[in-house]
Copies of this chain bind each other. A is one copy, B any other.
């Protein structure tokens, strides 16, 4: 079964740590060995993995992306093309390894839902699969 997680944001650009919710969804699925696919069904949001220890890192990533994406005269009339470009750079699909019934992350890694045009109510799709080896 595909699970759908809700993600709320309070700012225009925000990285929301969803590691706990994803881990819980995997444990609920009962898959011991396999993969977990995360998918963001939006065009101005993405999913990335980065440091879970110092919140300054996610602030620096958001500041860095602001500086990377140029202030051009964009054509799209909604005026949020910067958010579409950030979403294209971040990506909407992420695949994780499941071992011993949980996702396998590095010590310092967290999974972040990245909102680039909030605040909004968003969805995150989670699909678990058993490995056949």
Q: Is the interface of A mostly helix, strand, loop or mixed?
A: mixed
Seen from chain A, the residues whose Cβ lies within 8 Å of a Cβ on chain B are 1-2, 29-31, 33-35, 37, 39-43, 48-51, 54, 56-57, 59-61, 63-65, 67-70, 72, 74-78, 81-82, 84-85, 87-97, 99, 104-109, 123, 125, 127-133
A133 touches which one: B1, B49, B65, B88 (CB < 8 A)?
A: B1
Number of copies: 3
A36 to chain B minimum Cβ distance, whole angstroms, is 10
Provide the residues of chain B in CB contact with A39, threshold 8 Å: 95-97, 104
Q: How far is the CA of A57 from the CA of B64 in the complex (A)?
A: 22
A96 to chain B minimum Cβ distance, whole angstroms, is 7
A41-B106 CB under 8 A given contacts A90-B88, A91-B91: yes
